[in-house]
Amino acid sequence: MRLRSVVALCAATCALVSVGFAAGQQSLRPATPRIAALDEKQLTDAQREILGPYAKSGRTLYLFRACVRTPELCRAWVPSSNYFGTSPLSARDRELLILRTCWLCKNEYTWANHIAGAKRAGLTDDEILRVTQGARATGWSSADSLVLQAADELHTDQIIQDATWTTLSGRYSERELTDAIFIVGQYTFISMWARSGGFPLEPGAPGFPK
Structure confidence by residue, pLDDT tens digits, 153-191: 999 999 999 999 999 999 999 999 999 999 999 999 999
- pLDDT tens digits, one per residue of 2-15: 444 433 434 433 43
Q: Identify the CATH assignment for 88-197 out of 1.10.1370.30, 3.30.300.20, 1.10.540.10, 1.20.1290.10.
A: 1.20.1290.10
pLDDT level of residue 210 (50, 70, 90 thresholds)? confident
pLDDT at 195 over 80: yes
- pLDDT tens digits, one per residue of 41-82: 999 999 999 999 999 888 999 999 999 999 999 999 999 999
Q: What is the pTM of this model?
A: 0.86
* Whole-number pLDDT of residue 31: 83
Q: State the average pLDDT for the chain.
A: 89
* Whole-number pLDDT of residue 27: 54
pLDDT at 37 over 90: yes
Q: What is the mean pLDDT of residues 93-101?
A: 98
SS3 sequence, the chain? CHHHHHHHHHHHHHHHHHHHHHCCHHHCCCCCCCCCCCCHHHCCHHHHHHHHHHCCCCCCCHHHHHHCCCHHHHHHHHHHHHHHHHCCCCHHHHHHHHHHHHHHCCCHHHHHHHHHHHHHCCCCHHHHHHHCCCCCCCCCCHHHHHHHHHHHHHHHHCCCCHHHHHHHHCCCCHHHHHHHHHHHHHHHHHHHHHHHHCCCCCCCCCCCCC
Supply the DSSP symbol for 202: P
Domain range list for the chain: 88-197
pLDDT at 123 over 90: yes
Percent of the chain with pLDDT over 70: 86
* Whole-number pLDDT of residue 30: 83
pLDDT at 140 over 50: yes
